[in-house]
Structure 1
Amino acid sequence: MMLQPLRLNPGDDLRAALEAGAPTGFVVAGIGSLAHAQLRFAGEPGPTRIEGPLEILTLSGSLTPDGAHLHASVSDAAGRVLGGHVCAGCEVRTTAELLVAPLPAGSLSRAFDTATGYPELRIGDS
């Protein structure tokens, strides 16, 4: 399958838009800007709100019918960089330009993993 470009508009929720409109596959690249972000840092139980304006430096992850697993790094106006798990509430400021590598329907899913405590990626019938 061919790579699929996707553009999100001002006011779009980054995570919600990807979960609603993107195919099963992987986000291989993403840039743009956010009015504010909600990122969950490593080992933390919930997201932290980061006020903008912010630049999206990197965005990648997996997309399944069961939900998305996305990580991003963002920088503020002073150039400070933060990164983590993308949660609901990352509002696009001017644009978000993404490149998605779609995969056939049914090739990826998520299932709860007792070892990690999270819904983890399942490939095919694994």
Structure 2
Amino acid sequence: MASGGITAHAVRINAGEDLVSSMKKAAMSAMERSGTSSAFVMTAVGSLECVTLRMSNHTKEDGSSCNDIKEWKQRLEIISLVGTFDPEGFHLHMSVSDKNGNVFGGHLMAGTIFTTLEIVIGAIKNVNFSRLHDPATGFKELAVHPK
């Protein structure tokens, strides 16, 4: 465990912009300005015209597991957006709702802003994030290091 002071970096991402690359750019700027390699989503509101989410441990009809990827090509409201950024990548989860109030969520893969994304990125001073292979999960997982 490591801790440090938090700085908040607010940004508005405009209509038509790529969701993931814009957030990564904002997070990299926040880390650079704060002199750290750790960032996270403090809050986010906005809307999308499309989004791609990965479902975790979806079960196929034959009973085997996979991680299905689903895409919605419609206007959606962002209900929640959480996750972490490091210089090598990110881990973000998102929930969105459609025009009828149905909510969908999963691991964020891609998206395009419809009207706006108002996001506040937090950066933790004196803490560095990286991703290391975890043999227990088979994935690169978050590693937290005091600076």
User: TM-score of the superposition, structure 1-length normalised?
Assistant: 0.89
Instruction: Give 1:30's aligned residue.
Output: 44
What residue identity is the alignment partner of 1:115? Answer: A
Instruction: Give 1:98's aligned residue.
Output: 119
Aligned residue-pair number: 124
Are 1:116 and 2:121 matched, yes or no?
Answer: no
> How much is the aligned-residue C-alpha RMSD, in angstroms?
1.7
Equivalent pair of 1:30/1:97 in contact (CA under 8 Å): yes
Gaps of 5+ in 1: none
Distance 2:68 2:23 in 1: 20
Equivalent pair of 2:7/2:124 in contact (CA under 8 Å): no
**Which of the residues 119, 125, 128 maps onto 1:107?**
128
Q: CA deviation at 1:7?
A: 1.2
Q: CA deviation at 1:106?
A: 6.2
User: TM-score of the superposition, structure 2-length normalised?
Assistant: 0.77
**Which of the residues 55, 60, 66 maps onto 1:41?**
55
Are 1:63 and 2:85 matched, yes or no?
Answer: yes
Gaps of 5+ in 2: 1-5, 32-37, 58-65
Instruction: Give 1:78's aligned residue.
Output: 100
Q: CA deviation at 1:78?
A: 0.9
3-state SS of the aligned residue for 1:19? Answer: helix
Larger fraction in helix: 2
Percent pairwise identity = 35
Equivalent pair of 1:15/1:68 in contact (CA under 8 Å): no
Equivalent pair of 1:18/1:68 in contact (CA under 8 Å): no
